[in-house]
Copies of this chain bind each other. A is one copy, B any other.
Amino acid sequence: MDQYPSGHPYTVAVDCIIFGFDGERLKLLLIKRGFEPEKGKWSLMGGFVKPKESLDHAAKRVLHRLTGLEGVYLEQLKAFGMPKRDPRERTISVSYFALIGIHKYHKQVSSSYDSEWFPVTDFPKLIFDHQKMVNLARSRLRYKASLHPILFELLPEKFTMPQLQMLYEDFYLTTFDKRNFSRKILSTNLLIKQKDKDKSSSKRGAFYYKLNKEKYKENFHAFLKFIPNPEHLI
């Protein structure tokens, strides 16, 4: 610690970058600010940290209060603290990203707040440094998703191969060859083919798959080939 008797007081907030997948597109949940400054502009969901709660608790509380959601994947991303990021006063914001299955929560989400899901490739300008937070969350998530099958958090219990491919393509802003994609994904042994088909998007239909949850757990760190028992390290 410094020699100061104490530090300067700042406001501390949390902001949540909320990703969802509606079966076709990767989306971002934003709210319209109902107060100044920047009234009427789009923003991430956030809130101030209360005196008796932890940062994680504040993020959970904000997410729950604004969306009705509980038990979702939520991870601290980074603390943002540029001196003039918030024009009102010096505010440190600890950002979190959340992965939500839109299919499950859609109704609760839009009820009480002026919120809207936007495609991650096309959403309005955001206030403060929220655009930077979204960019960083997308990078971090791309990074994690290339190592861990984390994107399954976004999918419903049953999903099709074309849906999974659309999710990955939206995520990495690229296109994959259909057969290669399917072959690579199936080679992970993470999916269990179901007997029924989704016929909503084509006559022929597409088989449903489910995630093999045991394999998911088992293979989560399988890429760490060099280090023995990497699962004990993380």
Q: How far is the CB of A4 from chain B (nearest CB, A)?
A: 6
User: Once the chains are docked, how many angstroms separate the CA of A117 from the CA of B223?
Assistant: 33
Whether B1 contacts A13 by the Cβ 8 Å rule is yes
Check A11/B7 contact, CB under 8 A, given A83-B54, A139-B233, A226-B146. Answer: yes
Contacting residue for A49 out of B62, B81, B233, CB 8 A: B81
Number of interface residues, chain A, beta carbon within 8 A? 55
Q: How far is the CB of A194 from chain B (nearest CB, A)?
A: 24
Whether B233 contacts A46 by the Cβ 8 Å rule is no
Chain B residues with CB under 8 A of A35:
1, 3
Whether B89 contacts A6 by the Cβ 8 Å rule is yes
Residues of A within 8 A of B (CB): 1-4, 6-13, 33, 35, 43, 46-55, 62, 76, 78-83, 88-92, 94, 139, 142-143, 146-147, 172, 174, 184, 223-224, 226-228, 230, 233-234
- A95, closest chain B residue (CB): B79
Chain B residues with CB under 8 A of A82:
54
